[in-house]
Every structure is written in C-alpha cells, then in structure tokens.
Amino acid sequence: MLKMAIVVLAGCLALLPMVASGFFPATLRVVNGLRGWVRVLLPAVLVAPYVMVACAYGVFEWRWFCVYALLPVAIAATLEDARRVDKEQRGNWRDFLVVLVAGLAVDLRWLQPAWPPGLSAFNKVLLLDAGIYGFMALRQLESVGYDLRMRWRDVLVGLREFWFYAPLGAGLGLWMGFLHFHAAWPRPGQALGAFAFTFALIAIPEELFFRGWMQNLLERRLGRTGALITASAVFGLAHFNKLTAHFNWRYVILAVLAGIFYGRAWRAERRVGASAITHACVDTTWSLFLH
C-alpha cells in the first residue's frame, strides 16, 4: 500500500507541469521574473518523482539521479540559448537537437532501466515536462497550440480527420495482414475508459511532441507541406520497434499515413487538442476492434 501511495503521489507530481500548462497557460509566465541562472536550474526538481519511486522500490542509483536532475537543466539551457540567438523563431539547430535527444531517449528506451517494471512511463512524462518548460516557458515557442481547454471546433476537426483516415488505415492494415477484427467487441464503459486513457497519456504527449514542437519547427524551415511529410515520416519511423523485436514495417507504414492526418488536424487551427482527438480515436479503435 505504501509503495502504491508513493507511486500515485509521484505520478501526480510528474503530471502537474503537463496539466497546469495545458489548462492554465499563464503559469508558464511565472518564471519570467526569475534570474536567468535560476530559470535554467529550476527544472532539476523533475528528479523528485524518480527519487520517490526508486527509493520506494529499492532501485535508486546515483547515475539515474544525475540524469533526471541534469538532463532537464541541459534542455533548459539549450533552449534558453536558442531564444537568445533566434529571436525570430525560424528554428535553430538547438531546437532540433533537443527534439532529437528527447525523441531518441523515449523511442530507444535509453532511460527505461532506471524504473521498476511497469513504471517506465514516468520517463516519457518527465521528458515531456522538461520539453514543456524549455520550449514554452523559456523558448516561448509560438503556435504550439498546447491548450487542453477543448473547444467544439477541436472535436469536429479531430473527428473529421479520423473519418478521413479510418477507411484508408483499416483497409490497408487488413490488406497487409497487420490488422484483424476482434472476435468480441468492448462494452461502452470499457471503450470510454480506453479512449480517456489513450487521449491523456498517449495522444496528448505524442501530439505535443510531433506536431506542436517538431512539425511546428519544421514548418519554419521546410514550409507546411514539407513539414507535414517530414514529421509524419519521423512519427512513423518512431514505431519501428513497437509490438516486435524486429523492424515492424507494416506498423511504420500505417503510422506514417496516420501522421499525415494527425498533422492535418493540428495545423487546421494549430491546436494539439484537435490532433490528439484524431490520434486517440485511431488508437482506441485499433486496440478495441482491430489488432
């Protein structure tokens, strides 16, 4: 019971920056009045959830403590410097370096050994927190669209892109033999719970990363079409090791195609919530009705 209580508390602390910045964007401006070195060092507090969980499970290691204390600081310092040298926000190599390192750390599971079995999702959330602080509080990157105060327009755009993608993705997946219909369909409550979980813990983080940051930055260098294609390709390749130990080319193809429609949903009004609706609908449909 004590372990579970500590995990829940650590989870709440880890989710706090993501939730606070999504529902109360003004909280990001609090750091503006701090001294520069304080702003850069502040995200070191993100090490706290690691300390709590690792100590509770007896797996604490100083090397992982240093990683989770210093990596957010390094991200903050890099993006603070990017803000200084790229005031026009055209997209600086420092921005792309942060996106690359954070993306690879999650996709290749570099930091997963730090966590007890079943709790490695903390890694994804803490890196997202570091990115939110760096890109949105320090870098003050424009047009990210990270606002969890959902609008009807977000829902309509998200559902529109889902309906555009669903017949293409399902047809292609069934034809390739990657997808198969489930024998039994879920109960309504089960479907609703699956959608809520997917939307909050999978779709929102991934859409913020791939669309709000990556596609947003790429647009400043490659234009709308080039950015959409490139971000979608990277999104697809990020799924190469999902559900298999080998290169899962079928999953990659479907994810690239899905990324096109997620990117369209985001750029319609530059809202992460809209693309997260599309993303969550696709993932929930696949998990409950197809496999």
pLDDT at 2 over 90: no
pTM, 2 dp: 0.94
- The mean pLDDT value for 191-196 works out to 92
Q: How confident is the model at residue 188 (pLDDT cuts 50, 70, 90)?
A: confident
Q: How far apart are CA 38 and CA 286, in angstroms?
A: 45
Dump pLDDT digits (tens) for 28-77.
Answer: 888 888 888 999 999 999 999 999 999 999 999 999 999 999 999 999 99
Amino acid 145 reads G
Dump pLDDT digits (tens) for 220-256.
Answer: 999 999 999 999 999 999 998 876 668 889 999 999 9
Q: Residue 31 class from Cβ within 10 Å (0-12 exposed, 13-18 middle, 19+ buried)?
A: middle
Report CA 178 to chain centroid distance, whole Å: 25
Contact in structure between 31 and 42 (CB atoms under 8 Å): yes
Angle at alpha carbon of residue 46, lines to 240 and 101, rounded to 5°: 35
**Residue 217, helix vs strand vs coil:** helix
Q: What is the pLDDT of residue 119?
A: 94
Q: Give the mean pLDDT of the chain.
A: 94
- Spans of all domains in the chain: 2-138, 152-289
Provide the residue count of the chain.
Answer: 291
Q: What is the pLDDT of residue 215?
A: 98
Q: How far apart are CA 256 and CA 247, in angstroms?
A: 14
Name which residue leads in pLDDT, 130 or 33: 130
Q: How confident is the model at residue 268 (pLDDT cuts 50, 70, 90)?
A: very high
pLDDT at 1 over 90: no
The 3 state secondary structure assigned to 154-169 is: HHHHHHHHHHHHHHHH
- The mean pLDDT value for 263-273 works out to 97
